[in-house]
């Protein structure tokens, strides 16, 4: 037996509130949705939120843009090589400071 369709006047605010996802949960779901398929109900709730919330929709767009850039330009992921130790100037200053501390 099917449940009768609710009209807006029959939908309780409590039930409606449970359907709307909060932004902090949407942020997590946006990332998850990019890594794996979400259950259909979650996908629908996510889409409804994104239609209503410009900030979350913009976050999703930015995250997609970042992921696409990283995927299409992996050669640009490495930054400049950092030295493995202090510079020669810093090393000399440290040695000099240690010498001064050891003098009576």
Q: Mean pLDDT of successive 10-residue segments in the chain (104 residues)?
A: 49 62 94 94 94 95 91 70 74 86 75
- The pLDDT value given to residue 6: 46
- The pLDDT value given to residue 94: 85
Question: The whole model's pTM is what?
Answer: 0.56
| Alpha-carbon radius of gyration of the chain | 27
- The pLDDT value given to residue 99: 84
- The pLDDT value given to residue 25: 94
Q: Which residues contact 98 (CB under 8 A, 6 or more apart)?
A: none
E strand residue ranges, the chain: none
Domain boundaries, the chain: 11-74
Q: Which sign, positive or negative, has the C-alpha torsion 73, 74, 75, 77?
A: positive
- The pLDDT value given to residue 72: 84
- The pLDDT value given to residue 39: 96
């Amino acid at each position: 037996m099917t449940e009768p369709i609710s009209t807006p006047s029959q939908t309780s605010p409590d039930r409606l509130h449970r359907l709307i996802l909060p932004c902090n949960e949407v942020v997590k779901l946006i990332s998850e949705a990019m890594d794996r398929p979400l259950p259909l109900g979650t996908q629908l709730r996510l889409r409804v939120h994104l239609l209503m919330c410009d900030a979350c929709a913009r976050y999703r767009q930015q995250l997609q843009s970042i992921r696409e850039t990283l995927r299409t330009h992996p050669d640009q992921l490495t930054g400049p090589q950092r030295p493995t130790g202090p510079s020669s100037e810093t090393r000399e200053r440290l040695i000099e400071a240690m010498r001064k501390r050891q003098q009576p």
